[in-house]
Amino acid sequence: MKIIPAIDIVDGKCVRLTQGDFGQMKVYREDPVEVALEFQAADIEYLHLVDLDGAKKGKVENWEVVENILDKTALTIDFGGGVQTESDVNYLLDLGISQVNIGSLAIKEPKKFIRWLKKYGPENFILSADVKNEYVMINGWLESAKYRVIELVDQFIDHGLEYVTCTDIGSDGMLNGPNIGLYKKIKARFPDLKINASGGIASIDDLLQLQYMNLHGAIIGKAIYEGRFNLSEIKKIHAR
């Protein structure tokens, strides 16, 4: 299982929200590039990079941060937040982004996402499902899409979808542990889907539970910034 630290960006700064609430935002670092370099120095391989401004506004906002992190690190980066156009996808892949996260667009324009899966290859995309009580939320977690996560994945699985990141909004930022039941449901329905768990991960035991379920990855955010993990611990789990 991949252990994937997260950097969320608002106004060019490294922040975390609690339960997806922009009113409960804490700035942890002024320079996300410094944080990414620290991950790299600790021999971390992966990074989940999110433009929260972009997710909220419906277009990528923090291009400079993305470009600087790619320029100054060798991390394998998946990126999301406001990707809406084919030119966005082309630019991100040309920059060296490993995978592009597609969230709101997959709900609003599913045919466009299916075209992208076919044109660029499903290995270049992650369906980003931010879930509250099993229903998918869009537009920076501000609006319900009226779809359950299983129903959303079902739309794309026959079109080659390989990867999904599912964030449990109720757990996100709470440090109370991940929603194991949610991931069990998705795994049972789509056993071959590569699932990244996100939200609530706060301990080594949490990571071991997810690893036991044979998930593809675990995304950790607030627990790193609040000192629940040190980076060497993350590397050890990844190596198991």
Task: Read off the pLDDT of residues 64-117 as tens digits, 9 standing for 90 and up.
Answer: 999 999 999 999 999 999 999 999 999 999 999 999 999 989 999 999 999 999
Q: Which of 8, 51, 168, 206 is catalytic?
A: 8
Asked about 71 being catalytic, the answer comes back as: no
Say whether pLDDT at 170 is over 80.
Answer: no
Task: Tell me the one-letter amino acid at 25.
Answer: M
Q: What's the pLDDT at 78?
A: 98
Is the Cα torsion angle 228, 232, 235, 239 positive or negative in sign?
Answer: negative
Q: What's the pLDDT at 229?
A: 85
**What does the pLDDT average to over 196-209?**
93
pTM exceeds 0.95 for this model: no
Q: What percentage of residues in the chain have a pLDDT greater than 70? A: 95
Q: What's the pLDDT at 19?
A: 74
Comparison of pLDDT for 173 and 59, the residue scoring more: 59
Q: Of 132, 120, 58, which is closest to residue 92 (Cα–Cα)?
A: 120
Beta-ladder partners of 27: 15
For 103-136, what is each residue's pLDDT tens digit?
A: 989 999 999 999 999 999 999 999 999 898 888 9
Q: Which of 78, 130, 168, 172 is catalytic?
A: 130
Q: What's the pLDDT at 143?
A: 72
**What does the pLDDT average to over 209-221?**
95
Look up the domain containing 28 and give its range: 2-239
- Report the DSSP pairing between strands 135-138 and 125-132: antiparallel
Give me the helix-helix angle, 63-72 and 32-41, nearest 10°: 30
Q: How far apart are CA 221 and CA 240, in angstroms?
A: 21
Q: What's the pLDDT at 64?
A: 97
Asked about 205 being catalytic, the answer comes back as: no
Q: What's the pLDDT at 22?
A: 81
Vertex 84 angle, CA 80 and 90, to 5°: 80
Length of the chain measured in residues: 240
pLDDT band at 163 (very low <50, low <70, confident <90, very high): very high
Please name the helix (run of DSSP H) or strand (run of DSSP E) that holds residue 46, with its range, or none.
strand 46-51
pLDDT band at 157 (very low <50, low <70, confident <90, very high): very high
Say whether pLDDT at 160 is over 70.
Answer: yes
| Count of structural domains within the chain | 1
Q: What's the pLDDT at 133?
A: 85
CATH of the domain at 220: 3.20.20.70
Q: How far apart are CA 173 and CA 219, in angstroms?
A: 12
Q: Of 190, 236, 229, 239, which is closest to residue 213 (Cα–Cα)?
A: 190
